[in-house]
Structure 1
Amino acid sequence: MDRIGTPKEVTRGIYHIEIPTPFPVGPVNVYLLEGDFLTLIDTGPLTKEAWQTLSQGIMQIGYELSDIRQIVLTHHHVDHCGLLERVRQSSGAHTLAHSKAVPYVEANEEFMAYHARFFYELYTESGVPEESLIIIDKFHNRTMSFSERSQIDDCLKHGQTLPHFPEWQVFYTPGHSQSQISLYRAEDCVMIAGDHIIKHISSNAFIEPPQDQSANRPLTLVQYRTALEMCADKEIDIILSGHGEPITNHRELILQRLQKNWIRTDALLRLMKDGEKTAYELTTLLFPHVYQKELPLTLSETLGHIDLLQILHQLEVKRRDGVLYYSL
C-alpha cells in the first residue's frame, strides 16, 4: 500500500484510500467503486484526520464528495462507519448495509440500553471482577465518540446483487461482526471483505447480543469459521481487506486461521486440567499481557473457543452465584 491517504487503483474500477484511525488496529481501508453510481465502501472513523484524508483522497482520484451516490458499509464498527453521516450530508448518498447494522448506525436508544445490559450480564457470568465491569461503559463510550447517529436507507442480503453494480454479489460473512458483509465480483475473482479476512492478523469473532432479545447469543467463532469455509470454496484471486495488504493466497490463509482455532482450544483444555475456571480466569491465562487493556476483545476470543469446546461436549458447566465455571 502507498502512504496513508494516497489513493491507488488496486484493480479495475476500484480505488483504495487508507484512512488513519486512533485504534490499535491502525489505518482502515476504504474503497471507491467507479461506475454510473459512484459508490464508497466504508468511511473511516469520525476524526478530523480521517475526514481530511478521505476528502483529499477522493479529490485525488478525480471526484468530489458530492459525486458519491451510494455508500456501502461492510459492518457497523466505528472505524468503518464513523464518518457515514458527514459523507451523507456532503453528498446526499444512499446508504446500504446489512440489517443487523441498523440499530448500531442509527444509535437506537432502546437497543443500546439492552446492549449495555447484555454485556453487564455476560461479563458478570464470565467472572469478571466487579471493579473491572466499568470497562463496559468505558469501552462503549470511547468507541461511540468516533461515530455519530446516521441512517441506513436499504438493507443488503446474502446472495443479492449490489444495487447499480450487477457484477457484484453480496455475501453475508458474520463472525467478526453480526452485520459483516463481503462483496464478490466473479468475473475477475475479486472480493472486498471488510474485516472478515485480514492478512496480518486474525479477525476477532467479537461477541454481540442477539437482536432478538429472547434468543441465545450468537456463537460468533462458529459463525466465523463457517463464513471462512464458504470463502475458501470460492475462486478468489485477490481479497481487499478492511485493514492491511491485499490477500492473494486466501485458501492457505483461511486454513491457517482454522488451524489456529484448534491450537487455542487445546491451550484452553490444558489450562483446565488443574480444575474448573471462569471465562475471565481463562482469559487472564491465555492473554496475560493484554487482557487488562483489551478485555472486550480477549474475553470474546476466550468465549468463542469455549463455545467450540461445548459443541464438542468436552466441557462441563456449573453455575454458582450467577457465575459460570468450566471444567473438563
Structure 2
Amino acid sequence: MMELPLIKKTAQIRQMTLPTPFLVGPVNTYLIWSDALVLIDTGPKTEEAQGQLLRRLREMNLRPKDIDRVILTHHHPDHIGMTHVFQEHADIIGHPKMEPWLRKDMSFFEERRTFFAGFYRQHGMPENWIQEIEQGNRYYMKYTEENRFDGSLQEGDEIDGVPGWRIIETPGHAETHISLWNERDGTMIAGDHLIGHISSNAILEAPYEKNKPRPKTLLKYRDAMKKCRGAAIVYPGHGEDITEPDRLIDERLHEQTSKAAVFKKWLEEKEKTAFEVCQQMYPKMYSKQPALTFSETLGHFDLLEELGEITSREENGRIWYKSV
C-alpha cells in the first residue's frame, strides 16, 4: 500500500472533515495509522457525507475494507451514522453503553422516552414541547443505521494496533463518551468533549440502569474536563485543533459557574420550575431547541444545588427550585 499523505503534524493522525445536516456544522473524523488502521467516528448517514468520506479515503489509496477498527467517541448521529459502511470488515467498538444505541434497541428507546415524558412533566414542561422533543429525537435517529457492536472500551484500556494510545472516559456531553489519549506526546482525540469555538452541551440523559438516579451530566462533564488537563494538543469532533487545552478547560469551567450565577438570579424573587426559567433565560432559542436549552437549564441547576446556592422540593408531582 502507498504511504499515506501527511495531513496532521502528528504523523500517525489523518483528519477527514465531513458535512452534516445539523446546526453544529461539519464533523471531524480521524484515521490513526499505526500497526492497525483505526477510524475514529464516521459522520452522519447522508449521501453527501458518505460521498465525501469515500473520496477522502480514495485520495489516501484506501477503501472501507482497509479499516481494521472503528472507535466511536459517543452515540450521537453525526459521529456514528456511517458505521454500517465499515462493519463488514472492521471491528466496531466504543463505550459499553454504546451497544443499545448501535443496535437500535427499541425497548431501550421506549424506556428512555417514557422516562423523559414523566421527567419533563415534573419540571413544568407542557405536553406540546414534550412531543416536540420526541419528534426531534426521531428525526435525529434517521441519520443512523442499525449496527452490531463488537467490543467495549473503558477507562485505561489500551487500543489494539495503536501502541501508546489509551482510553479515558469523558462523560458529560454523552454518557457514552470516550476520548483517546496518546501518553507519549500528550495528543488527545476528544470527540465532542472539548470544542474550541463552542461549548459542548451537557445533554440530559436517562439512567442506563433501572431504579438508578439520572446522571447529573454537567457535574460529570466538569469532572471529565479536569481529567484532561495536561494534554498538549486536542483534536476535536468539530472545528479547529485546540493548541492550549488547559486554558480552554479553565475558560469553560469559569463560564459554567458564571452562567449558573445568572440562572440563580431568576430564582431570587420566587420559586419556579426549571422549564419556567428555561423560557426566561432563552426566550427565543427555547422554542427552536427545547431539549438543548432545557439541558442547559437543569444542568446549571444541578451545579447550583451542588454548590448549595439553590434548593428544590417536590409537590403534587412538580419540582420547584428556589434560591438560598
Do these two structures clear the TM 0.5 threshold for a shared fold by scoring above it?
A: yes
1:321 Cα deviation (Å)?
A: 3.1
Structure-1 residue corresponding to 2:52: 53
Structure 2 CA distance for aligned equivalents of residues 304 and 155 of structure 1: 28
Structure-1 residue corresponding to 2:292: 297
1:200 paired to 2:197: yes
Secondary structure of the structure 2 residue equivalent to 1:214: coil
Structure 2 CA distance for aligned equivalents of residues 130 and 321 of structure 1: 17
Q: Which amino acid aligns with 1:243?
A: H
Structure 2 CA distance for aligned equivalents of residues 87 and 285 of structure 1: 45
Structure-2 residue corresponding to 1:322: 317
Q: Which amino acid aligns with 2:97?
A: K
Match of 2:276 among 277, 281, 296: 281
Structure-2 residue corresponding to 1:164: 161
Q: Which amino acid aligns with 2:118?
A: E
Structure-2 residue corresponding to 1:3: none
1:10 Cα deviation (Å)?
A: 4.6
Q: Which amino acid aligns with 1:107?
A: K
Q: Is the 8 A contact 1:7 1:17 kept in 2?
A: no
1:284 Cα deviation (Å)?
A: 1.1
Structure 2 CA distance for aligned equivalents of residues 145 and 7 of structure 1: 34
1:265 paired to 2:260: yes
TM-score, length basis structure 1: 0.94
1:264 Cα deviation (Å)?
A: 1.0
Figure out how many residues of one structure are paired with residues of the other and give that number: 319
Secondary structure of the structure 1 residue equivalent to 2:279: helix
Instruction: Structure 1: give runs of 5+ residues left out of the alignment.
Output: 1-5
Structure 1 CA distance for aligned equivalents of residues 84 and 161 of structure 2: 22
Structure-2 residue corresponding to 1:253: 248
Q: Which amino acid aligns with 2:62?
A: Y
Q: Which amino acid aligns with 2:106?
A: E
Structure-1 residue corresponding to 2:73: 74
Match of 1:173 among 164, 170, 173: 170
Q: Which amino acid aligns with 2:199?
A: S
Q: How well do the aligned residues superpose, as a CA RMSD in angstroms?
A: 1.4
Match of 2:215 among 218, 221, 245: 218
TM-score, length basis structure 2: 0.96
Structure 1 CA distance for aligned equivalents of residues 188 and 138 of structure 2: 33
Structure-1 residue corresponding to 2:90: 93
Q: Is the 8 A contact 1:291 1:298 kept in 2?
A: yes
Q: Which amino acid aligns with 2:86?
A: V
Structure-2 residue corresponding to 1:145: 142
Q: Is the 8 A contact 1:10 1:16 kept in 2?
A: no
1:178 Cα deviation (Å)?
A: 0.3
Structure-1 residue corresponding to 2:131: 134
